[in-house]
Structure 1
Amino acid sequence: MAAMSTVPVRPQASYAQRIAFVAEMAARLHRYGTTAQRLEAAISALSQRLDLECEPWSNPTGLILSFSDPGKPPGSTDTTRVIRLPPGENDLHKLGEADRIAEAVANGHMTIAQGHTALRTLDRPPWPWMRVMQVLAFGLAAAGVAGLWRLPWLDIATAAFTGLLIGLLDQYTSPRPALKEAGDALAALTAGAVVSLVAATVGPLNLNTVVIASLVVLLPGMALTNAMNELASQHWVSGTVRFAGALTTVMKLTVGAMIAVTLIDLLGLEPAVRASRPQPDWVEWGSMGVAAFAFAVLFKARRRDYPWVMGAAICGYLISRYAGHAWGSPAGIFLSALALTAGGNAFGRWMQRPGALIRLPGIIMLVPGSASLRGLLTLVQQQDMDAGQSAMLGVLNIVMALVAGLLFGNLLIPARKNL
């Protein structure tokens, strides 16, 4: 962090200015992917330090903030802000900057006006090369996950190419509201069509697995985990809404993939399917680094934070893998989530930065997004309730192990920072 003046400049801000700053900070934390319990705790703490009383209420699509001035008679200064927002997306760089600005304003090193100005600098459009990196990261994430699953080289190459196409599609649909609603279904349609065509014309593939690897960036595993975490924290409305949103995403992906399969069948093509995972250990190790780098880009971390983000992702995967081999998959996921949550809280305490830099990338390879999509695809393709229920039970086991790890990790090393 840059050195700050040791003599704080106490802001002479009005009641309305302080409310405006807290409301803008809350909206930005929501936009950068903060969960309900962490956002509400962070905003309550910031309000107290700015001599405000605030009762925040957060859900995945909006905020309600009720303010009052503790120095005035009760009810005389009550103000309520209702803010409608789209679901947030994880942005580790902007989250870290927002946290730094909030600390500077709360400590008196910045005035409220300077804080507003600093926040607005975060709205500058990204450089073109950053958009290119995001597209490349879609392909690298797909290839990395396919390599972690030890798929054959043709499968890995197909997943990487399809991931790049989906990255391009995401860049095209994101700024267009009419297309964004159907973006997940269009991505799954693209993935299903490309993978099926390769399997029908080039060589046999692990068909469903390659489709899932291609879509790995869009899978709602993190949303499912956050939803259960919010429910466990007694944020019933936010957790229920986020859980419903995650299920809707899985259904849209399944619908898109099944439309592609139907179209390929109507064209008279028959994809060749095989179950093969022949890769040696070194491919898995290399893929782990590729996937970790891709997620650092996708989480929009600053370049100086890449070692932290990549190290957390690799540690999370390794703990889960080796502990899972020793004591079973749920135990491995639990221990990994516990270690990364405690590690993120320790990072926040000692580095004075958001623990999300460690926590989010650390659990990204553990989340149950691929298992949930595989379960629904199996259910729809085979029309077999037993197979679908078995897959969904596996998802439930993963989610429970993750949430338990998150809860006990917070108990092991309590967080100093809510973010």
Structure 2
Amino acid sequence: MSMQELPSFTTAALNTRIAFLIELTRRLHQYGTAAPRLEEAVSSASLRLGLRAEVWSSPTAIILSFADQAQGDDAIAQVTQVIRMPPGDVNLSRLCEVDAIADGVIEGRIGLEEGARHLRHMSKPLTRAQQLGMVFGFALSVFGFAVLMRGSWADALTAALLGGMIGAVMLLAARHPRVALAGEALSALLAALGASLVSAWLVPLRVNVVVLSALIVLVPGMMLTAAVRELSAQHLASGVSRLFGALASMLKLIFGAMVVFAASSWFGLKLPLPTMPPLPAWVQWPSLVLGTFGFALVFLAARRDWLLVALSAMLGYVVAREAGAQFGPAFGVFTGGLVLGAAGNLYARFAHRPGSLVREPGIILLVPGSVGYQTLTYLAQRNVHSGTETAILLVTLLVALVAGLLFGDLLIAPRRSL
């Protein structure tokens, strides 16, 4: 939210101001804003509308309490609102729209009632073009990740096909609550079954690479990172809830894959050793470009922001890779987080738009979601030694990434909440 000379809202009806703020809170939560930034954004907007707000946010509920500043600092809250919502998903285009509407209202360019109406209309479902774009984005991002994992052409193409199918499953899950409850497990089952059948009947694959790549968009690395960051900011209720939500999602993914592998062994399906060599190193760079544009589609960025989102993801990956090659993976992730945190704040300061456009896609290739998936896979296979090693690596990378983002905020102080 911008820091300009603002009009006075003391003459506006209390309920009108509160209705706008409640709708603003709903949309920020719905489009993937983490608890610290949501609470800061709503509290700041409330002050500019002549209200004092107490905000408590968690992944599934928000409590808002409003008091009119005109009644003095000792006034008790006149209105308290409890909002129950499912966990939000990152939607960069609509998050930018919410930010623009909020700025328009605060600066007096948009009326309160008109702003609330615009926010309510944003609850409409995705268009057919957006849905097709998401499916294509799943396929592109999965293809890029499979190449970065040193897969072969067969591995990358199979993973991309399975990634597109998983994108369609997740769109179906968004419309049907019963499917949503088992969406991750169904996706993992589809990925493991498809990779196993292709490897057994068509061309030998690196099955583990294909399965992990196909599921990479669903692996809750972003959720794990947000949970640790909320815990570090003393948002304990939200951080713990998000942490266990990420763990539950990870367990669903692993369960779906393990069911297929166990059934394959029971039915005697033999998986031959892969014969195709990994793709040459030079292929990783064009594949990285394709994958990052895929993330722009998955995150539902507006067309004008596709290049920015792709460049942010590439920046995070290149910085982490180069720094990690010199000083180890943890330092690489820390450096990537620091650069992206500072770059996001810098972009928000000069462009007057959410820094999330740089920060969220930038860390997608840094979050240790694949390490968390491997950790629980090893433990499910009773490989305690490898599971313990990867668990230590997971914690190290999470702490390094969160520390980098926090130091990025110290290097360039954020001027906007989002």
Aligned to 2:342: 342
Aligned to 2:170: 170
The equivalences for 1:97-136 within 5 A come to 97-136=97-136
Aligned to 2:410: 411
Aligned with 2:69: secondary structure? coil
Asked if 1 retains the 8 angstrom alpha-carbon contact of 2:153 and 2:278, the reply is: no
Q: C-alpha separation between the residues in 1 aligned to 2:322 and 2:240?
A: 33
- AA at the equivalent of 1:412: L
Aligned to 1:45: 44
Q: C-alpha separation between the residues in 1 aligned to 2:215 and 2:144?
A: 12
CA distance 1:240–1:276, change in 2 (3 Å): farther
RMSD: 1.7
Q: C-alpha separation between the residues in 2 aligned to 1:92 and 1:133?
A: 14
Asked if 2 retains the 8 angstrom alpha-carbon contact of 1:206 and 1:276, the reply is: no
Asked if 1 retains the 8 angstrom alpha-carbon contact of 2:378 and 2:384, the reply is: no
1:28 aligns with 2:37: no
Cα distance, 1:230 vs. partner?
0.3
Aligned with 1:289: secondary structure? helix
- AA at the equivalent of 1:329: P
C-alpha distance after superposition, 1:343-396 (max 9, x if no partner) = 000000000000000000110000011111112112223x12111111111111
Aligned to 1:329: 329
Aligned with 1:126: secondary structure? coil
Asked if 2 retains the 8 angstrom alpha-carbon contact of 1:10 and 1:109, the reply is: no
CA distance 1:8–1:78, change in 2 (3 Å): closer
Asked if 2 retains the 8 angstrom alpha-carbon contact of 1:207 and 1:273, the reply is: no
Asked if 1 retains the 8 angstrom alpha-carbon contact of 2:378 and 2:386, the reply is: yes
Asked if 1 retains the 8 angstrom alpha-carbon contact of 2:101 and 2:115, the reply is: yes
- AA at the equivalent of 2:283: V
Aligned to 1:312: 312
Asked if 1 retains the 8 angstrom alpha-carbon contact of 2:7 and 2:106, the reply is: no
Cα distance, 1:66 vs. partner?
0.7
Q: C-alpha separation between the residues in 1 aligned to 2:118 and 2:15?
A: 19
Cα distance, 1:266 vs. partner?
2.6
The equivalences for 1:236-275 within 5 A come to 236-274=236-274
Q: C-alpha separation between the residues in 2 aligned to 1:77 and 1:222?
A: 35
The equivalences for 1:109-258 within 5 A come to 109-258=109-258
CA distance 1:83–1:10, change in 2 (3 Å): closer
Count of residue pairs the alignment pairs up: 413
C-alpha distance after superposition, 1:125-170 (max 9, x if no partner) = 3321211111111111111100112211111111011111111211
CA distance 1:246–1:127, change in 2 (3 Å): same
Bigger mean CA deviation after superposition, 268-277 or 358-367: 268-277
Bigger mean CA deviation after superposition, 272-281 or 151-160: 272-281
Aligned to 1:371: 371
Bigger mean CA deviation after superposition, 105-114 or 29-38: 105-114
CA distance 1:77–1:147, change in 2 (3 Å): closer
Asked if 1 retains the 8 angstrom alpha-carbon contact of 2:10 and 2:49, the reply is: no
CA distance 1:20–1:263, change in 2 (3 Å): same
- AA at the equivalent of 2:61: G
Q: C-alpha separation between the residues in 2 aligned to 1:14 and 1:108?
A: 15
Asked if 1 retains the 8 angstrom alpha-carbon contact of 2:32 and 2:88, the reply is: yes
* TM-score, normalising length: structure 2: 0.95
Aligned to 2:289: 289
C-alpha distance after superposition, 1:315-334 (max 9, x if no partner) = 00000111111111111111
- AA at the equivalent of 1:192: A
Cα distance, 1:124 vs. partner?
3.3
Aligned to 2:17: 18
- AA at the equivalent of 1:389: T
1:78 aligns with 2:82: no
CA distance 1:140–1:230, change in 2 (3 Å): same
Cα distance, 1:9 vs. partner?
9.5
Asked if 2 retains the 8 angstrom alpha-carbon contact of 1:324 and 1:333, the reply is: yes
C-alpha distance after superposition, 1:247-282 (max 9, x if no partner) = 111111000000111222232211124498622222
- AA at the equivalent of 1:92: L
Q: C-alpha separation between the residues in 1 aligned to 2:10 and 2:356?
A: 29
C-alpha distance after superposition, 1:155-203 (max 9, x if no partner) = 1111011111111211222211111001100100111111111121223
Q: C-alpha separation between the residues in 2 aligned to 1:273 and 1:367?
A: 30
C-alpha distance after superposition, 1:229-253 (max 9, x if no partner) = 0000010110000000001111110
Q: C-alpha separation between the residues in 2 aligned to 1:258 and 1:77?
A: 52
Q: C-alpha separation between the residues in 2 aligned to 1:123 and 1:235?
A: 27
Asked if 2 retains the 8 angstrom alpha-carbon contact of 1:313 and 1:361, the reply is: yes
Bigger mean CA deviation after superposition, 196-205 or 176-185: 196-205
Identity rate of aligned residues, in percent?
Answer: 42
Q: C-alpha separation between the residues in 2 aligned to 1:394 and 1:77?
A: 46
Runs of 5+ in structure 1 lacking a partner?
A: 1-5
* TM-score, normalising length: structure 1: 0.95
Q: C-alpha separation between the residues in 2 aligned to 1:410 and 1:326?
A: 24
- AA at the equivalent of 2:64: L
Asked if 2 retains the 8 angstrom alpha-carbon contact of 1:197 and 1:264, the reply is: no
Aligned to 1:3: none
Aligned to 2:361: 361
